[in-house]
Amino acid sequence: MKIILFATLVLISIIGFSQKKPGVYWIQFTDKSNSGFSISNPNQFLSQRALDRRTRQNISVNSADLPVSQYYVDSMSHLGLEVFNTSKWLNGVLVRLSDTTVLNTLSGISFVQSYKYVRPVFAKNVTSTKMETETLSDYFSYGSGNKQITMLNGNVLHNLGFKGEGMLIAIIDAGFLATNTAHAFDSLFNNNRIVSTRNFVIGNFNNSVYESHTHGTSVLSTIASIIPGSFVGTAPRANFTLLLSEEGATEYIYEEYNWVCAAEYADSLGADIISSSLGYNLFNDATMDHTWAELTGDVSVASKAATIASGKGMVVVVSAGNSGSQPWHKIGFPADADSILTVGAVDSLRLPASFTSVGPTADGRVKPDVAAMGKSTTVVDGSGNVVQGNGTSFSCPIIAGMCACLWQAHPTATSMQIRDAVIKSASRYSSPDTLMGYGIPNFEVANAILSNVPIVDIKTDQIKNVYPVPFTSDIYIEYYSVKNNEIEIELTDMLGNIVVKTSSKLILNSLNTINLTNLKMVVSGSYVLKIKTETDTFKRMIVKK
């Protein structure tokens, strides 16, 4: 999995200098002297779109936005180092070197704070087949992608005319093999909605991303596909920048630095949303491994950068990881970052997938934040076929696409207001857990929250959903609470006999999720679920398997 983060502008507090061997190194600078840029003239290093995004949200340009000193970068090149990525947020460069004697020179340069070995000798154009195994009256006929959108009530936003138009989504991934030839993406290219591409693995501002890996292709498809009647994504009219930061065949911590550079590029381009289905924890070189104790959001460079990106006014959406049934078990990095949306995975019955990584963070914050369909998810593969895949890699972009539609509907909202509305709309907002966080978002409700419309004005029946159907042991009830702090719940058989009776305290003006447990002894058959308030009774027929 992958990582990123930031402290105050000096990212890594490495004291001294690391091991000496040929490979890729991160070189940390002490300052940004002689950069040639000024905060008072930001249009020299930020696009107008990026500046407009900051202006709308009252976010100031600061020293972290200033590019790395070109004098320092040129000095590295003059030493014979191949500089292939720079990071302004972390204030340093990634370089390749084969002659380690030059490291002795670095130790004596005043503006070099430290260097760190992050990968062995670089291999270009590495390919891999590794991949996470991870009845409508609506505007679109979603085909096999129906469940993953309607589960979120995303079709409601589409029907209102919000399909991502004008929004710019940055996808940071491992490669987009065949994206430029697959029929599912014809609309992207026919309408020039791929704004830019950038390959940070090869570096040197190489724009080739349609090679080396199919993972990004499948990720992108959950948002951008338009095959009416077969598969349509969650923000099918959005614009995209496709950024390749991940080398699929190996895992080294240098990929986290690539992630930082990609996030910075997305920011400077003016992206509204970053969607990244990458995560880091353990590496091919065990000396680079992370630990559970580091899941605090401010250790990994990827986590730091994700937090910074959020602070720049972007909605940052990251996959929780697929380690739930593995020894690591926990979420990865940058999934632990603060102020982002970390997304877990559920199946079509809205139950947590066995592989979804577990929270909370090491400092006790709820993670994942929300969940979406990541098991048997409809995606497009590298051959252009509509298939099913498993992984939080797919639940993440599903949420990112819906966030784009929501923000399109509320263009004056801040990124934090979008994030908060998504969380507050979720099914377990009143009782978050370690698998689904605050639960499955309801974008109809999120839209209402941002519109200041009381939920009662949307639906007269306050029982929104009961699942699974049929049930075997547990029942989950989603219930809108507008004016009642407490309700009574009864499960009766068809003769009116009460089988289960309980009560539940609620959060007002929220979608509450109530869990009835230990129902294995209830005999198979049909039942009536009753929700009683002081003034009303709501009923729903359910079946025990």
pLDDT in tens, 221-256: 999 999 988 999 999 999 999 999 998 778 999 999
Residues 90-107 pLDDT 10s: 999 999 988 888 988 998
Cβ(82)–Cβ(95) under 8 Å? yes
The whole-number pLDDT of residue 5 equals 29
> Which pLDDT band holds residue 455 (cuts at 50, 70, 90)?
low
Return the amino acid letter for 58: N
- Quote the CA–CA distance of 89 and 224 in Å, as a whole number: 30
The whole-number pLDDT of residue 15 equals 34
DSSP 8-state symbol, 390: -
Mean pLDDT across the stretch 123-151? 58
Question: Which tokens sit at 211?
Answer: 């090679």
What stretches of 125-253 show up as alpha helix (H) in DSSP? 146-150, 154-159, 186-190, 215-224
Cβ(2)–Cβ(259) under 8 Å? yes
pLDDT > 50? residue 459: no
Residues 322-364 pLDDT 10s: 999 999 999 999 999 999 999 999 999 999 999 999 999 999 9
The whole-number pLDDT of residue 318 equals 98
SS3 category, 357 = coil
- Quote the CA–CA distance of 316 and 310 in Å, as a whole number: 6
Question: Which tokens sit at 129?
Answer: 């087949």
Per 3-state DSSP, the chain is made up of helix, strand and coil in percentages (nearest 5) of 25, 25, 50
pLDDT > 60? residue 19: no
The whole-number pLDDT of residue 129 equals 33
- The number of C-alpha atoms within 13 Å of 352 and in the hemisphere containing its C-beta is 26
Question: Which tokens sit at 344?
Answer: 């877990």
Output the pTM of the full model: 0.81
Residue 242: name the closest of 216, 260, 214 by CA: 216
> Which pLDDT band holds residue 467 (cuts at 50, 70, 90)?
confident
Cβ(174)–Cβ(393) under 8 Å? no
pLDDT > 50? residue 4: no
Q: Which residue has the higher pLDDT, 461 or 187?
A: 187
Q: Considering just the CA atoms, what is the radius of gyration of the chain in Å?
A: 24
Q: Which residue has the higher pLDDT, 205 or 258?
A: 258
- Please give the mean pLDDT across all residues of the chain: 88
353: left (phi over 0), alpha (psi -120 to 50) or beta: beta
- Quote the CA–CA distance of 132 and 261 in Å, as a whole number: 23
pLDDT > 80? residue 14: no
Residues 27-80 pLDDT 10s: 999 999 988 899 999 999 999 999 999 999 999 999 999 999 999 999 999 999
**Domains of the chain with CATH codes:** 1-279+297-451 (3.40.50.200), 459-544 (2.60.40.1930)
Residue with tokens 């909370």: 360
Contacts of 266 (CB under 8 A, 6+ apart): 170, 172, 241, 243, 274, 309, 314
- Quote the CA–CA distance of 478 and 372 in Å, as a whole number: 16
